[in-house]
Amino acid sequence: MSGDICAHFRLERGDFRLDIDLELPARGIAVLFGPSGSGKTTCLRAMAGLERAPDGFFSIAGEVWQDEASGVFVPTHRRALGYVFQEASLFPHLSVERNMEFGQRRATNAAPHGELDTVADLLGIRALLKRRPDSLSGGERQRVAIARALLAAPRLLLMDEPLAALDLKRKREILPYLERLHDELAIPVIYVSHAPDEVARLADHLVLLEEGRVVASGPLCDTLARTDLPPAFADDAGVVIETTLSGNVADNLSQLEFADGTLHVGRRPEVPGSRLRCRIHARDVSVALERPRASSIVNILPATVSAVAATDTPGHVLVQMRVGGTPLLARITERSQRELEIAPGRTVWAQIKGVALLA
């Protein structure tokens, strides 16, 4: 559709072939996820015009940047995009402020966050403006690189594994700023990653790539809940649920509301009304035919089985359920499935043993 990002690329590089057809929402963060060699970076480079697919097509919100059938190809330097690489690639002889001004000079029109001070505050780097890149941590350098990209007033922000070169401490430092970009920026972001935790925290839309092909694409929760994914994606099966903190309750617990139910977690410091993402792994969910009368498990929800699929783990199956309209996965043994007669349409109780807060 005209308001979407449309990408159709077919190209060959030696033994590798990229063959994708994608429509992505023109708002929020779309994550390209897959193992090394699956085509994530090649796809991103084609979107940027750094790789030219012989019969490619690429448009954003109706503005065509490539249409080989019509002889249209807008070179990279004329595309209103920002590109953040694994390495920050800042100019070492310039201060942080001068690096950011370089991005600002590329802007062809004003943007909602086009002012240098505004972007510096957004990314928490105002105190760094007079410093040189060699005096910054890896996380700080990457935040400056993101700021420089934003100051170019892009219509699209491309991020190629921006946390891959950082250690765990630096990743934890920068992730809250990426979440802040997600909440405060209207421009779409296409984000390449092979880290499941980044996908769970940041993605609105998820694209799974394998050997240059799209094996799944859709809203994050629905895509994660599929039972037909290749083993490379099913090993860490689980869902992500958007919740709202409704308040604290007895016994040091907080109550989270989602569209179709309620979850309880350890007491949270956020104020009521805060939005929180939860990740629930299939391995942390069991099923029962009747609601347990006495159980140490706090989160027990009524659900309906929608699918059962085999897994690569001998003796186990993956059960897809719906809590109202919200998908949920459970990994159980084949024996349990057989004895409980778990099949599509069966009403069960989902017992959630662990809820991970993604913040």
Q: SS3 string of 62-86?
A: CEEEEEHHHCEECCHHHCCEEEECC
For residue range 267-308, what is the model confidence (pLDDT) as tens digits?
988 899 999 999 999 999 999 999 988 889 999 999 999 999
C-beta of residue 194 within 8 angstroms of C-beta of residue 233: no
With bands split at pLDDT 50, 70 and 90, how would you rate the model's confidence at 233?
A: low
C-beta of residue 223 within 8 angstroms of C-beta of residue 230: no
Q: Do residue 102 and residue 170 come from a single domain?
A: yes
Q: Do residue 279 and residue 295 come from a single domain?
A: yes
Q: Please count the structural domains in the chain.
A: 2
> Among 230, 251, 273, which residue terminates a domain?
230
Q: Do residue 219 and residue 248 come from a single domain?
A: no
Residue 266's Cβ-count burial label (10 Å; 0-12, 13-18, 19+) is exposed
Q: Do residue 161 and residue 246 come from a single domain?
A: no
Angle of the 138-150 helix axis to the 96-105 helix axis, nearest 10: 30
pLDDT at 13 over 50: yes
Q: Do residue 315 and residue 346 come from a single domain?
A: yes
Q: Do residue 263 and residue 297 come from a single domain?
A: yes
CATH assignment of the domain containing 189: 3.40.50.300
Q: Do residue 165 and residue 294 come from a single domain?
A: no
- Amino acid identity, position 202: L
Structural element, H or E, at residue 252: none
Hunting for tokens 């024996």 — which residue is that?
Answer: 335
From CA 268, how far away is CA 279, in angstroms rounded? Answer: 16
> Among 171, 200, 230, which residue terminates a domain?
230
Q: Do residue 226 and residue 257 come from a single domain?
A: no
Q: Would you state the torsion angle of the CA atoms of residues 92, 93, 97, 103, taken in this order, to the nearest 10 degrees? A: -70
> Among 177, 206, 230, which residue terminates a domain?
230
The confidence score (pLDDT) of residue 112 equals 45
The two beta strands, 275-281 and 316-323, are unpaired
Torsion sign (Cα): 86, 87, 89, 90: positive
Q: Do residue 195 and residue 260 come from a single domain?
A: no
The confidence score (pLDDT) of residue 232 equals 62
| 3-class DSSP assignment, residue 178 | helix
Taking the CB of residue 189, how many other CB atoms lie within 10 A of it?
Answer: 23
Give the residue among 122, 77, 127 at the shortest CA–CA distance from 97: 127
C-beta of residue 133 within 8 angstroms of C-beta of residue 90: yes
For residue range 103-160, what is the model confidence (pLDDT) as tens digits?
888 776 654 445 888 889 889 999 999 999 999 988 899 999 999 998 888 899 999 9
CATH assignment of the domain containing 253: 2.40.50.100
For residue range 69-115, what is the model confidence (pLDDT) as tens digits?
999 999 998 999 999 988 878 899 999 999 998 888 877 665 444 58
Q: Do residue 302 and residue 157 come from a single domain?
A: no
Hunting for tokens 């050997």 — which residue is that?
Answer: 211
For residue range 315-351, what is the model confidence (pLDDT) as tens digits?
999 999 999 999 999 999 999 999 999 999 999 999 9
Q: Do residue 76 and residue 163 come from a single domain?
A: yes
Q: Which domain holds residue 47?
A: 5-230
From CA 147, how far away is CA 116, in angstroms rounded? Answer: 8
Q: Do residue 186 and residue 256 come from a single domain?
A: no
The confidence score (pLDDT) of residue 359 equals 65
